[in-house]
Amino acid sequence: MARTAEPLLRVEQLETQFFTRAGVARAVDGVSFEVARGEVLGLVGESGSGKSVTGFSILGLVDPPGRIVGGRVLLEGENLVDAGERRLRALRGNRIAMIFQDPMMTLNPVLRIDTQMIEAVRAHHGVDRAEARRRARDALGRVGIPAPEERLSAYPHQFSGGMRQRVAIAIALLNEPAVIIADEPTTALDVTIQAQILYEMQKLCGESGTALVWITHDLAVVSGLADRVCVMYAGRIVESGPVDAVLDRPRHPYTAGLIGSVPSRNRRGVPLAQIPGMTPSLLALPGGCAFRTRCPNAEADCAAEPPAERRPEAGRTLRCHHPVGEAVS
Amino acid sequence: MLVYLIRRLGQSALVLVVMAVLVFIGIYAIGNPVDVLISPEADLAEQQATIARLGLDRPLWEQLWLFLVNAVQGDLGRSFVHGVPALRLILERLPATLELALVALVVALSVGVFLGLWAGLKPDALLGRSIMTGSILGFSLPNFWLGLMLILVFAVLLQWLPAGGRGETVDLLGIRTSLFTLDGLSHLLLPAITLALYKTSLVIRLARAGTREVVLQDYVKFARAKGLSPSRVIYVHVLKNIMIPVVTVVGLELGSMIAFAVVTETVFAWPGIGKLLIDSIVNLDRPVVVAYLMMTVFIFILINLAVDLLYSLLDPRVRLSEAGA
Amino acid sequence: MSEPDPGLSSGAVVAEPETLHAPPPRLSSPLARLALDFCASRPAVAGLAVILVVAVAAIFAPLIVPQNPYDLAQLDIMDGTLPPGSPSYAFGTYWLGTDVQGRDMLSAIVYGLRISLLVGSVSVAFALVIGSAVGLVAAFFGGGLDSLLMRIVDIQLSFPAILVALILLAIFGNGVDKVIIALVIVQWAYYARAVRGSALVERRKEYIDAAVCLGLGTRRVLFGHLLPNCLPPLIVIATVQVAHAVALEATLSFLGVGVPITEPSLGLLIANGFEYMMSGRYWISFFPGVALVVVIVAINLVGDRLRDLLNPRLQR
């Protein structure tokens, strides 16, 4: 896919922390990545790895006690971290949109679909209601909702889960944003619906050149959809690179563990590999490398200091003292 | 919808009959009905006539039947004190009470929702906490004492507002109301505030609890992610959701407002049915007490029905579940 | 038409008895932990302190007040409606003034509090016992008995307490005992409903089956095993209901259908001062009202805190 020099969205050393009574949780701890026009970036991690908070941080939607404490989010060159609330509001839903995980919860149950779509258009464009409604209808048609005109007057509860997620996607697409952040939008859906929606998102973003950040815990989804992938663990990106390279030749033991725990037809009868232990609490991360307590390659130096980011090959990054496939010294 | 309405009306009629039977037992079976229903000043012939008319010499079940038949025809007895049919007395006084209760309800709803929303959005801010502490005070101030203190401050010390009574009224579609004269409003203000305070505290709590729950919902975050202004998010997305529990509870509270008007009306000498009830209890004017009870039960049932309908209007999900059933 | 009661109205929103688990253990005894958490709220502690002081004052009233306000021989009509701070011929000073019969308001208020608290706590205790028993029986036996009892509760609760109490007292007549009976009648249904709600949930849990399998008697299972597990929401309701009962008694007495004129409670004192208020002699109504409000606020503050602590849904 063609890449322009300046990425649409560039996240630099983003840090978001939650100031709770029990202590400070570093949910996002120095995350950097970029997405170009028309590109799909997969952001992969277990629950609690900070991937959703990263998404909310980009839009400036982190609620107290959470706060962005450092780094930059550059959308088409403009730093959103420094932008005021008014400016952020003008960009949200307009240049950068978000799709949430649970379609049953993202639409307001007491407002009709047209109300919820028209307000999204009119928040950013000075068009009349009829024009806004027309755009809403077109957007519903584009995401494959039959009889969009009639469906506009329906309430969310009259839609199935898959249809609701299509409505949410239609709302995200309404103002033709440059970037869409999709936070596990297919996790709550049936597998067949999931495939349809994945296919349509890919098509719609490809057509319009919208950059897509797809947050998921599902490597299978990433392998089919994304151009590049970032693997997150405990608030940090531990490995990133082109999706084929990372999935075929993982360097970080955590990535390798994730891949090993995906059931596969080719390995029937072989017990699934697991990553031992549990995701650590963000309030009590192990010192040094946060993964070392679960890592098969861990050595004494892993506890000493967190591994710095390095570039094992072009287009890839890695944070590990003892990567897979490197001789242990 | 029609089927639902008919079923609800049937249920309501049943409750009304049950209440009538209870009232009958309460008034007729406890103590001597002759003493209760016939004025002590009536002469012997008059007594005999009434006994015959009410059938007090017949078996109990027959009396019950007569009472019910009379009640259906609107005959709930004659006031000893005023010498007019008790029901007519109640109906004459009813508009004053309804006016007071409705104004208080509007005050409680508007002030309560606004403050509760505020406290729910900023639960840890000083103002949010003050609103909550204030609502405890609102719960705790006894209605009658609050009324007295308002009279003391605004009528006795400052002399800004009248201490009691109903002001000048105008006829609107045959109903006397004090809402359209300055004098009427000035008389209405203190009693309405007194009656509203308790419900205001209740609405504040409901609205705050609702707000705190709703703001955590994904759809509120999604609304913000659409780039909507905070006022649109709060006054459309949040408010519409918290109004469902608030309207349900407060609608039902209109009934208890009418009951609590007994106290407020006594303090402010407001000529409604509440004051009539107290006067009738003190004067042993039992037919009026019976008529008051039956009328109150009737109003409660109507309110219940209206709230149910309103609820299905506010919450689209309810309408569907009924259509599906 | 739910009854306008702070306990129930907010309780209906928050009280979720089925999941009443203690928070993660930090101290050995759950009671000690509750006490510690309770003390974290300053208004609640202040409320508790006020309740204790008022309760002690009410219990030892004859020992601490200068005058027995019910003993007409001690009253001097010449001392009638004196403003606060006036000197008395019989004893020091009328700090809060006197009423029309020359009664020292301070003494009258302490005695009035005595009646108010007596009526409040006794009526709540009886209502609690009766209501809990009915609720337990309904939940345990279920079926037609359950429907019948709960239908009675529903009808009862659909009428405002003030109205029911007013009508009952109109039939019964004046008297402290009659006020208590009326208050028990209007309050029992709250407990019945709350206990039935949590008992229905507890009933399905295995320890009840285990107790039944052990061959324990019905009464033992009901009161020894089921009831203790339904207690936390009851404690909250009972606390707030004491405040409610005190307010209701005052209101009824104010309306002239409560306690007899010979034993004035706070409500009656306020009613007696009503007519004098118009001529600026505010103290006869004002001070008893302040005492009443202080007591009710204090109880509500404690109840509010207890509700927060005993309600798992508010624990983060």
- Residue of C5, C163, C241, C308 to mutate for B, most B C-beta atoms under 10 A: C163
User: Is A40 inside any structural domain?
Assistant: yes
Say whether pLDDT at C20 is over 50: no
Residues of B in contact with C282 (CB under 8 A): 152, 156
* pLDDT one-digit tens code per residue, B280-320: 887 777 778 888 888 888 888 888 778 777 777 777 766 54
User: Is A248 inside any structural domain?
Assistant: yes
Looking at residue C129, its pLDDT comes to 92
Looking at residue B40, its pLDDT comes to 65
The pLDDT of A83-87, averaged and rounded, is 87
- SS3 readout for B71-107: HHCCCCCECCCCCCEHHHHHHHHHHHHHHHHHHHHHH
- Residue of B16, B140, B297 to mutate for C, most C C-beta atoms under 10 A: B140
| Facing A106 at nearest CB: one of B218, B227, B320 | B218
User: Is A164 inside any structural domain?
Assistant: no
Write out the residue range of the structural domain in which residue A235 sits. Answer: 9-95+177-318
**Distance from C-alpha of A227 to C-alpha of B133, rounded to nearest angstrom:** 56
The pLDDT of C197-220, averaged and rounded, is 77
Q: Which residue's entry shows tokens 């309800």?
A: B105
What average pLDDT is seen over chain B? 80
**Distance from C-alpha of A32 to C-alpha of A280, rounded to nearest angstrom:** 22
User: Is A279 inside any structural domain?
Assistant: yes
pLDDT confidence of B191, banded at 50, 70, 90?
A: very high
- C14 forms beta bridges with none
The pLDDT of A101-122, averaged and rounded, is 88
What average pLDDT is seen over chain C? 78
Q: Which residue's entry shows tokens 């909550």?
A: B132
pLDDT confidence of B114, banded at 50, 70, 90?
A: very high
Whether A153 has its CB under 8 Å from any CB of chain B: the answer is: no
**Distance from C-alpha of C275 to C-alpha of C284, rounded to nearest angstrom:** 10
Contact predicate C265/C253, CB 8 Å = yes
The B residues from 201 to 260 touching A (CB cutoff 8 Å) are: 217-229, 232, 236-237, 240-241, 244
| Facing B148 at nearest CB: one of C6, C167, C277 | C277
pLDDT confidence of A5, banded at 50, 70, 90?
A: low
**Distance from C-alpha of B203 to C-alpha of B209, rounded to nearest angstrom:** 10
Task: Say which CATH number the domain at A71 has.
Answer: 3.40.50.300
Predicted model pTM: 0.78
| Facing C1 at nearest CB: one of B139, B263, B300 | B300
* pLDDT one-digit tens code per residue, A192-225: 888 888 888 888 888 888 899 999 888 888 888 8
Whether A75 has its CB under 8 Å from any CB of chain B: the answer is: no
User: Is A229 inside any structural domain?
Assistant: yes
Say whether pLDDT at C313 is over 60: no
Looking at residue B113, its pLDDT comes to 92
Across the interface, whether the CB atoms of B226 and A119 are under 8 A apart is answered: yes
* pLDDT one-digit tens code per residue, B213-246: 888 888 898 899 888 888 899 898 899 888 888 8
Beta strand spans in chain B (E): 170-172, 175-177
Nearest C-alpha in A relative to B218: A106
* pLDDT one-digit tens code per residue, C27-85: 456 777 778 777 877 888 888 999 999 889 888 878 887 777 777 777 776 677 777 77
Whether A91 has its CB under 8 Å from any CB of chain B: the answer is: yes
Across the interface, whether the CB atoms of C251 and B259 are under 8 A apart is answered: no
Contact predicate B236/B271, CB 8 Å = no
Q: What angle do CA B231, B235, B237 make, to 5 degrees?
A: 105
Number of residues assigned to chain A: 329
pLDDT confidence of C257, banded at 50, 70, 90?
A: confident
Q: At what angle do helices B286-314 and B86-121 cross, to 10 degrees?
A: 40
Say whether pLDDT at B27 is over 90: no
User: Is A296 inside any structural domain?
Assistant: yes
Say whether pLDDT at C26 is over 60: no
Whether A94 has its CB under 8 Å from any CB of chain B: the answer is: yes
* Tally of structural domains, chain A: 1
pLDDT confidence of A264, banded at 50, 70, 90?
A: low
Residues of C in contact with B304 (CB under 8 A): 1
**Distance from C-alpha of C277 to C-alpha of B157, rounded to nearest angstrom:** 10
Strands of the sheet with A23-35, listed across from one edge: A23-35, A9-20, A66-75, A78-79
Q: Which of B165-174, B246-255, B284-293, C105-114 has the lowest mean pLDDT?
A: B165-174
CA distances from C230 to C24, C127, C194, C235 (A): 20, 16, 9, 9
The DSSP bridge pattern shows strands A211-216 and A40-44 to be parallel
Whether A154 has its CB under 8 Å from any CB of chain B: the answer is: no
Residues of C in contact with B149 (CB under 8 A): 286, 289
3-class SS of residue A232? strand
Looking at residue A133, its pLDDT comes to 92
Contact predicate A232/A270, CB 8 Å = no
Looking at residue B325, its pLDDT comes to 31
User: For residues A306 and B324, which has the higher predicted lDDT (pLDDT)?
Assistant: A306
Nearest C-alpha in B relative to A93: B226
Whether C254 has its CB under 8 Å from any CB of chain B: the answer is: yes
**Distance from C-alpha of B317 to C-alpha of B307, rounded to nearest angstrom:** 16
Phi/psi at A63 (5° precision): -90, 150
Contact predicate C132/C120, CB 8 Å = no
Amino acid C57 reads A
Domains of chain B from N-terminus onward: 2-72 (no CATH), 94-282 (1.10.3720.10)
Contact predicate B258/B97, CB 8 Å = yes
Say whether pLDDT at A1 is over 50: no
The pLDDT of C92-113, averaged and rounded, is 79
User: Is A106 inside any structural domain?
Assistant: no
pLDDT confidence of A270, banded at 50, 70, 90?
A: low
The DSSP bridge pattern shows strands A228-233 and A40-44 to be parallel
Q: Chains near A, with 3+ CB pairs < 8 A? A: B
Residue A314: Cβ-neighbour burial (10 angstroms; 0-12, 13-18, 19+): exposed
**Distance from C-alpha of B124 to C-alpha of B127, rounded to nearest angstrom:** 8
Q: Which of B23-37, B192-206, B212-226, C287-301 has the lowest mean pLDDT?
A: B23-37
Looking at residue C184, its pLDDT comes to 93
Highest mean pLDDT pick, A46-55, A275-284, B25-34, C47-56? C47-56
What the block records as the tokens of B180 is: 């359209």
Domains of chain C from N-terminus onward: 42-315 (1.10.3720.10)
- SS3 readout for B226-264: CCCCHHHHHHHHHHHHHHHHHHHHHHHHHHHHHHHHHHH
Looking at residue C128, its pLDDT comes to 92
Beta strand spans in C10-113 (E): 86-87, 93-94
Q: At what angle do helices B239-268 and B286-314 cross, to 10 degrees?
A: 170
Assembly ipTM: 0.84
What average pLDDT is seen over chain A? 85
CA distances from C196 to B143, C17, C184, C190, C303 (A): 31, 10, 18, 10, 21
What the block records as the tokens of A250 is: 């993982």
User: For residues B27 and C219, which has the higher predicted lDDT (pLDDT)?
Assistant: C219
Q: Chains near C, with 3+ CB pairs < 8 A? A: B
**Distance from C-alpha of B5 to C-alpha of A95, rounded to nearest angstrom:** 50
Across the interface, whether the CB atoms of B202 and C297 are under 8 A apart is answered: no
Say whether pLDDT at C126 is over 90: yes
A59's enclosing H/E stretch is helix A51-59
Looking at residue C18, its pLDDT comes to 36
Reading phi first (left if > 0) and then psi (alpha if -120 to 50, else beta), residue A52 is in alpha
Amino acid A256 reads A
**Distance from C-alpha of A46 to C-alpha of A24, rounded to nearest angstrom:** 20
